[in-house]
Amino acid sequence: MRMNQMALDLETWARHYAEENVFEHNGEIIDSEKAFCSAGLHAQAKPNYHEWLASRS
């Protein structure tokens, strides 16, 4: 049962942040994926799954 809840949480997180263009680089939040593409950087969505899950408990 716990695995099902974890899967649902991951799915919820992915759905919630899939359309967000919020990324972090060197500790700075950048709200445009295009800024990363133009700079040749790799974007990382924030918050990550574990941070999000911890914030829900």
| Domain boundaries of the chain, sorted by first residue | 2-56
Six-digit token string for 4: 């099902």
User: Is the distance from CB of 23 to CB of 30 less than 8 angstroms?
Assistant: yes
What pLDDT was estimated at residue 13? 67
The reported pLDDT for the residue numbered 49 is: 72
For residue 18, pLDDT over 70 is answered with no
What is the rounded distance in angstroms from the CA atom of residue 12 to the CA atom of residue 33? 22
**For residue 46, how many other CB atoms are within 10 A of its CB?**
14
pLDDT: which is higher, 53 or 5: 53
pTM, 2 dp? 0.29
Distance CA 55, CA 12 (A): 14
